[in-house]
Amino acid sequence: MSKVKVSATVDPAHLERAKELTGVTSVSEVLERGLVALIEDELERIHADGYVRAPQDGETVSAVDAAVWADLPWDEE
C-alpha cells in the first residue's frame, strides 16, 4: 500500500489518549487507525440512513441506533 506524507494539527490530549487506548506510539499509526475507523463509521451511517429511507420487507424504522447492530450475530454458520 502506498502512503502519503501529511501535516496535521491535532489536539495533543486526543493524540495522547488515542496512544494510551491503542498502545500505539507512532503518530502515523494512530492517524491511520483513526481514518480507518472514521471510514467504517461513515459507511455504517450511510447504510443505516439508507435503511431508514427505504426499509426492507415492509419494516418501519423510526430511528437508527448503532448499538442495535452490535448485538446481532453476524457470523453465519
Domain annotation covers residue 2: no
- Least Cα distance to 47 among 31, 68, 33, 75 occurs for 68
Domain annotation covers residue 38: yes
Domain annotation covers residue 27: yes
Instruction: Provide the residue-wise pLDDT of the chain in tens; the chain has 77 residues.
Output: 899 999 999 999 999 999 999 999 999 999 999 999 999 999 988 888 777 666 666 666 666 666 666 665 666 55
Domain annotation covers residue 77: no
Domain annotation covers residue 5: no
Domain annotation covers residue 22: yes
pTM over 0.85: no
Number of compact structural domains in the chain = 1
